[in-house]
Amino acid sequence: MATSKKETGAKAVLGKIVRHQLFIPVAALLILAIFNLIADPSFYKITLGYSNDGNPILSGYIMTILDYGSELAILAIGMTLVTAASGGQDISVGATIAIAGSVILRVLCGTESRPETLKAPIIVAFLVAVVVSMLFGAFNGVLVAYFKIQPMVATLILFTAGRSIAAWINNNELPIISDPKFGYFGGFIPGIPIPTTFFITVICVIIIMLVLKFTTLGLYTQSVGINESSSRLNGLNPAFIKFLSFVILGICVAVVGLIKVSRLSTINYSVVAKDIEMDAILAVALGGNALSGGKFNMTASILGAYVIQFLTTTLYKFKVQSDALPAYKAIVVIALVVMSAPIVRDWMSKTWKNLTKGNKAKEVA
Amino acid sequence: MKEKSILEMRSINKSFPGVKALQGVDFTLCEGEIHALMGENGAGKSTLIKVLTGVYTKDEGEIFIKGKDEAVTIKSPQDAQNLGISTVYQEITLCPNLSVAENMYIGRTKGIGQNWKKMNEDADKILTSLDIPAKATQQLASCSIAVQQMVAIARAVDMDCKVLILDEPTSSLDEQEVEKLFGLMRDLKARGVGIIFVTHFLDQVYEVCDKITVLRDGKLVGEYAIENLPRLQLVSKMLGKELDDMSDIKGEAAPYDKADKDEKVLEVECLVSDAGIKPFDFYIKKGEVNGFTGLLGSGRSECVRAIFGADRVLSGKVMKNGKEIKISKPLDAMKNGIAYLPEDRKIDGIVGDLSVRDNIILALQVLRGSLKPISKAEANKFADEYIKLLGIKTASADTPIKSLSGGNQQKCILARWLLTNPEYLILDEPTRGIDIGTKIDIQKLVLKLASEGMSVTFISSETDEMIRTCSRMIVLRDRKVVGELSQDEISQSKIMSTIAGGDR
């Protein structure tokens, strides 16, 4: 008797886990991890090597995932808030990353295209980029929140124009920065073998978690996303909260912009962060968040970002050609998205229940 | 099956996780009969109807339809329609930006081709035959709510329905519109259609129905012919206890006398909002319960919305305890100790996907400011306290509010505002669409709060509720205040004559 009680308890716990929002991204990560483990355990090999200038660096596929997943994870933070508050997505993040990167280069290089020394401290350049990105976020936010334009349509403007603006900021030149310090943000800090991007992400995640814990941003954003009219009657200002979400996404964009230009020490306006908006939106969706807004789970979105990077890296590992990559990715994504659809999950839990019921009946018999 | 019955449901069972929503419920509908389905919220009315219309699949039981020899299976709303079962819901589920005819034929045409001329002619024919004042080519949104409701019925009727389900069709209609709707129902009845009528308005049941089936806690209480079940008995059957006379609450508290008669908590002069009301004056004293009354659309809600800052205020003066204050948005009003429970619970009240707890603390949280979040422990404490205090039936404080019944949702919204400890509480239709037990609870609560010194404005379209609770009533007609009745003058006939315009 006691054991059977325990069993049902375990089952209830299992059901709870399956229904939890984190289930899909965590399960996806596990499946990918196990797949790699079986297919080729060398996937997990991490080697300590030395860079050209003699600094220790860890390398391996896991490091690649941590490194490149960071950009997506940071964007996913802002995209989650925008999605929750406005019930739509910002498709201009790739273009605004180009702008932010361009601004950083412009401030660091001044008018020269290959400066001997930096014209301004990197932190200043970054802060200017943050302000500029927030302004562009504010532009999107005003269109969405105050002019009530659909987010996709509103952000289509910058999606189209952003890269031209980025090029225009540097007079269409491609400045190159030779100062090695600038490379730290997208690479390694001497003496620390872990990619800097990982630390940047950790800082961003800590900040957003603190903000969610010590302010009411989460509650207000969800409330506005679920029911704008009733939020207003509870004293909230829905338009401002939507606006705010776009501005916060602007900050995230500036951080990613810094990482992107730091990796190359230069910029390619038409290619930098191309299609990244779609991956960011996908990260939010993989996290089980409704793209129509409302309730959200930040951790799930961030995990979703790493799932996408894990998948990409796995495909690279198996020598999938980069042209073919999107197609393979699409297949896996379809499977994941279908699995996380409420209908399918209901069906799964029902089937599961029936199966366990059947077993029980047999036991009794 | 019996001779005249067109629908028989036998021992229907339906469970949801943790709840037995229906247990062995029988239901029989005859040809040419208007059959009221009554019960409190959570009694199983909606579940029964959803089983019948294929929204839910039943766990056990059989459904027989006239003309079919065997029990039928209804797996989807499509199946139900094919069997001649049509439903008109409380909320209009048509497309307002399409024409009347398009709405009547949407989703029913076969193939790609569409003969628009014939469709419009057919639609017009049906509209005339049912005496519905609408044209086929008219845009649906330009019709009144009542006419839209009728178009929905016309659509159902034209689909050759034998069983018509009307789920709270009258809740957004005024009296004349309800009359028109009843005319249409009687007309259909004469044609042999069986009508299942779900409503919370007792008067309407006795006006139009032939039979009553009462459900309670998912079980069948019984089926009665209307003449054999007087009102009071119906109520006691629904509640499952002998009713200790609803008018009892009248005598429980006499707040008005205890209240300080001279202290005006809030005073309003010549307030006008952009919702189209004429300038009005208003005051409320400490511990007073007053109300706005008038027909639907007379501007009751618009008045209180203006006071709360929910609509944009164009001009006017608001004074609190004698000092002038400025209210331009809801937050201003909240900071001045005003709380407003809105008329439309679904649109303006609940935040559906959020938990009961978050819904309860929302307003208090906004008042505290965004840098002082209410901790989870504190929120749980508040939620548990009010769940207990108001008797909110919910699985836990974590349950999304949208899965609660209407009455319990309303209690949560009430809890939300009580938590802010307001000086002045505005309740706009707090009893709409909820069961009688909860209605009485809310009225009792209003009187109790007032006796403790809270000022309350109570608006209800059921005048007798207002007579029971209010000590002063402001009467509105055509968006204008036309009179004020105090204590002794408040009676059904006096209110009617004031609404109608003097003692003519």
Read off the pLDDT of residues A263-316 as tens digits, 9 standing for 90 and up: 999 999 999 998 899 999 999 988 888 888 899 999 999 999 999 999 989 988
Residue A343 has pLDDT above 90, yes or no: no
Residue B180: CATH number of its domain: 3.40.50.300
Chain B residues lying within 8 Å of A223, measured CB to CB: 351, 354, 358, 362
Rounded mean pLDDT, B277-286: 90
Give the residue numbers in A contacting B (CB under 8 Å), as ranges: 213-217, 219-220, 222-223, 226-227, 229-237, 294-295
Q: Are residues B286 and B217 in the same domain?
A: no
Residue B303 has pLDDT above 60, yes or no: yes
How far, in Å, CA of A312 to CA of B288, rounded?
A: 67
For A41-319, CATH number out of 2.60.40, 1.10.357, 3.30.160, 1.10.3470 equals 1.10.3470
Using alpha carbons only, what angle is made at residue A182 by residues A179 and A187, rounded to the nearest 5 degrees? 120
Q: Are residues B151 and B288 in the same domain?
A: no
With an 8 Å Cβ cutoff, are A230 and B349 in contact? yes
- pLDDT above 90: percentage of residues in chain A: 59
Nearest to B460 by CA among B428, B417, B485: B428
Residue in B334, B340, B351 closest to A227 by CB: B351
pLDDT grade for A3, boundaries at 50, 70 and 90: very low
Closest chain B residue by Cα to residue A233: B330
Closest chain A residue by Cα to residue B331: A235
pLDDT tens-place string over residues B75-103: 888 888 888 888 887 666 778 888 888 88
With an 8 Å Cβ cutoff, are B363 and A234 in contact? yes
Tokens 């325990």, residue located: A6
Res B158: pLDDT: 75
State both tokens at A236: 């909230």
Q: Are residues B112 and B204 in the same domain?
A: yes
How far, in Å, CA of B132 to CA of B45, rounded?
A: 29
With an 8 Å Cβ cutoff, are B363 and A223 in contact? no
In a domain, B269, yes or no: yes
Give the three-class secondary structure for B87.
Answer: strand
In a domain, B259, yes or no: no
Strand pairing category for B280-285 and B289-293: unpaired
Strand pairing category for B472-477 and B480-486: antiparallel
Chain B residues lying within 8 Å of A215, measured CB to CB: 370-371, 373
Instruction: Supply the range of the domain harboring residue B281.
Output: 264-500
In a domain, B200, yes or no: yes
Residue A354 has pLDDT above 70, yes or no: yes
State both tokens at A224: 């506005």
Nearest to A42 by CA among A275, A266, A318: A318
In a domain, B281, yes or no: yes
Q: Are residues B290 and B227 in the same domain?
A: no
**Among B239, B254, B282, residue at a domain's last position:** B239
Q: Are residues B176 and B87 in the same domain?
A: yes
Q: Which residue of A11, A222, A230 to mutate against B (max B Cβ within 10 Å)?
A: A230
Q: With beta carbons less than 8 A apart as the criterion, state whether B153 and B126 touch.
A: no
Does residue A40 or residue A221 have the better pLDDT?
A221
With an 8 Å Cβ cutoff, are B329 and A229 in contact? no
How far, in Å, CA of A311 to CA of A29, rounded?
A: 9
How far, in Å, CA of B222 to CA of B297, rounded?
A: 38
Residue B355 has pLDDT above 50, yes or no: yes
How far, in Å, CA of B169 to CA of B61, rounded?
A: 28
With an 8 Å Cβ cutoff, are A233 and B348 in contact? yes
CA torsion through residues B245, B247, B251, B254, sign: positive
Is-above-0.80 flag for pTM?
Answer: no
Q: Are residues B215 and B308 in the same domain?
A: no
Tokens 């309730």, residue located: A295
In a domain, B248, yes or no: no
Rounded mean pLDDT, B248-252: 49
Residue in B348, B362, B371 closest to A223 by CB: B362
- pLDDT above 90: percentage of residues in chain B: 32
pLDDT tens-place string over residues A311-340: 989 988 888 888 888 888 888 778 877 876
Q: Are residues B235 and B270 in the same domain?
A: no
**DSSP 8-state secondary structure symbol assigned to residue A243:** H
Res B260: pLDDT: 53
Q: List the beta strands (DSSP E) in B67-172.
A: 85-88, 163-167
> Number of folded domains in chain B?
2
Rounded mean pLDDT, B136-150: 83
Where does residue A171 fall: left (phi above 0), alpha (psi -120 to 50 degrees), or beta otherwise? left
In a domain, B253, yes or no: no
Amino acid identity of residue B373, one-letter, is P
Q: Are residues B68 and B174 in the same domain?
A: yes
How far, in Å, CA of B326 to CA of A223, rounded?
A: 26
Q: Are residues B269 and B232 in the same domain?
A: no
Q: With beta carbons less than 8 A apart as the criterion, state whether B151 and B139 touch.
A: no
With an 8 Å Cβ cutoff, are A233 and B308 in contact? yes
With an 8 Å Cβ cutoff, are A234 and B366 in contact? yes
State both tokens at A211: 């903000």
Chain A residues lying within 8 Å of B358, measured CB to CB: 219, 222-223
Q: Are residues B274 and B379 in the same domain?
A: yes
Q: Which residues of B263-285 are buried (b: 16+ CB within 10 A; e: fewer)?
A: ebbbbbeebbbebebbbbebebb
B329 in contact with A, Cβ within 8 Å? yes
Residue B124 has pLDDT above 80, yes or no: yes
Shortest Cα distance from A284 to chain B (angstroms)?
A: 18
Q: Are residues B39 and B98 in the same domain?
A: yes
Q: Are residues B362 and B402 in the same domain?
A: yes
Amino acid identity of residue B384, one-letter, is D
Nearest to A279 by CA among A309, A319, A317: A309
Q: Which helix or strand (DSSP H or E) is residue B362 part of? A: helix B356-368
pLDDT tens-place string over residues B127-139: 888 888 888 888 8
With an 8 Å Cβ cutoff, are A226 and B351 in contact? yes
Domains of chain A by residue range = 41-319
- Other beta carbons less than 10 A from residue B206's beta carbon: 16
In a domain, B249, yes or no: no
How far, in Å, CA of A299 to CA of A304, rounded?
A: 8
Res A8: pLDDT: 59
